Amino acid sequence: MDYFKHYLELEPTYTQYLMSVVSLPWSLKIIYGIIADNIPICGSRRKSYIIINGILQYLSMFVLALGLLEGAVPITCTLVLNSISGAFIDVVVDALMVVQSRLDPEKGSENLQSF
């Protein structure tokens, strides 16, 4: 948000609109869960999604850090990609927590929450 305000010198209303677009992928988490549970990649339903989305998240932030993009729209699109990747990883990790908690019915995932 500060980047939009200070460096791109955008109006607050337009900045808020762009930040709303960047936050939108977090509301679609149920779709990411359905995809991860039903479409395996290379025989894996979870590990491959964590790797792919981790790489996408790294690359999107790396491009922004290098300053290769100019203008609000390309930067917003890159932030949306980063947000999608982060939300997807969050869903997959939550699914892994559920699986692990079912393996230990006595304590559930109490030990995993500290990680």
The tens digit of pLDDT for each residue in 5-61 reads: 777 888 889 989 999 999 999 999 999 999 998 998 988 888 999 999 999 999 999
pLDDT at residue 111, as a whole number: 64
Q: Pick the residue with more confidence: 81 or 98?
A: 81
Q: Pick the residue with more confidence: 96 or 78?
A: 78
pLDDT at residue 112, as a whole number: 64
Burial class (CB in 10 A: 0-12, 13-18, 19+), 9: exposed
**Helix, coil or strand: residue 106:** coil
**Helix, coil or strand: residue 39:** coil
From 27, 78, 94, 84, select the one nearest 52 (Cα to Cα): 84
0.85 surpassed by pTM: no
